[in-house]
């Protein structure tokens, strides 16, 4: 197959290499997402263990808090306010946003590969490809994927920006 740059024929390649590029990019994102540690808190209403220390002043609440949270197989956040700060949710949201950007790139390339005749879509019985040209099969799944992934990127970006901000507590 012929590679294209700026929509113009460039140099030869193989479909396997072009698809491997997307597989590699997506695998890198999955590996990054898998390394993100979900954090938890157990240190009172404002993160100071006030009620805990008042009720049982002789206990080592910092150690108890850490053991309790880590006992649930999540990371311990020793410094919180009223809430666990949601930075992890932001990290995940941004990672999902980048992953979805890669998937948009894949969807657009697949749309183009179909248009160029590298792939042929399967005709599904009962489905009509076009209101005036029923023999035609439009690549609507890739078009829908592009739109839906774009919407999710907007939401994930908003989550990353909004959830990390809190007024005092």
Residue 49: half-sphere exposure toward Cβ, Cα within 13 Å? 18
Q: Tell me: do 161 and 110 sit in the same domain.
A: yes
On the question of pLDDT at 129 being above 90, the answer is no
On the question of pLDDT at 132 being above 90, the answer is no
Which residues have a Cβ under 8 Å from the Cβ of 59 and sit 6 or more positions away?
A: 52
10 part of a folded domain = no
Alpha-carbon span 58 to 158, nearest angstrom: 44
Which residues have a Cβ under 8 Å from the Cβ of 111 and sit 6 or more positions away?
A: 139, 142, 143, 146
Q: Tell me: do 100 and 60 sit in the same domain.
A: no
Alpha-carbon span 164 to 169, nearest angstrom: 11
Residue 91: half-sphere exposure toward Cβ, Cα within 13 Å? 13
Q: Look at the chain and report how many structural domains it folds into.
A: 2
Give the residue numbers marked as catalytic: 6, 130
CB atoms within 10 A of CB 94: 17
Q: Tell me: do 98 and 138 sit in the same domain.
A: yes
Global pTM?
A: 0.87
Q: Tell me: do 144 and 95 sit in the same domain.
A: yes
Q: Tell me: do 52 and 32 sit in the same domain.
A: no
Q: Tell me: do 98 and 136 sit in the same domain.
A: yes
At residue 40, the pLDDT reads 96
Alpha-carbon span 135 to 111, nearest angstrom: 18
Q: Tell me: do 67 and 113 sit in the same domain.
A: no
14 part of a folded domain = no
Q: Tell me: do 29 and 91 sit in the same domain.
A: yes
On the question of pLDDT at 126 being above 90, the answer is no
Range of the domain at 78: 42-82
12 part of a folded domain = no
Q: What is the pLDDT of residues 75-116, one digit of tens each?
A: 999 999 999 889 999 999 999 999 999 999 999 999 999 999
116 part of a folded domain = yes
51 part of a folded domain = yes
Q: What is the pLDDT of residues 44-79, one digit of tens each?
A: 999 999 999 999 999 999 999 999 999 999 999 999
């Amino acid at each position: 197959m012929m590679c294209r740059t700026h929509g113009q024929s460039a140099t030869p390649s193989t479909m396997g290499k072009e698809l491997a590029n997307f597989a590699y990019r997506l695998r890198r994102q999955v590996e990054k997402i898998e390394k993100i540690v979900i954090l938890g808190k157990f240190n009172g209403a404002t993160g100071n263990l006030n009620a805990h220390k008042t009720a049982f002043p002789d206990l080592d609440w910092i150690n108890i808090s850490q053991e309790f949270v880590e006992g649930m197989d999540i990371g311990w956040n020793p410094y919180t306010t009223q809430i666990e700060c949601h930075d992890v949710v932001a990290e995940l949201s941004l990672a999902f946003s980048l992953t979805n950007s890669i998937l948009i790139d894949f969807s657009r390339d697949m749309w183009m590969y179909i248009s160029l005749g590298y792939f042929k879509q399967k005709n599904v019985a009962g489905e009509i490809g076009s209101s005036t040209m029923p023999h035609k099969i439009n690549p609507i799944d890739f078009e829908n994927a592009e739109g839906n992934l774009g919407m999710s990127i907007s939401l994930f970006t908003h989550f990353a920006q909004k959830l990390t901000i809190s007024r005092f507590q």
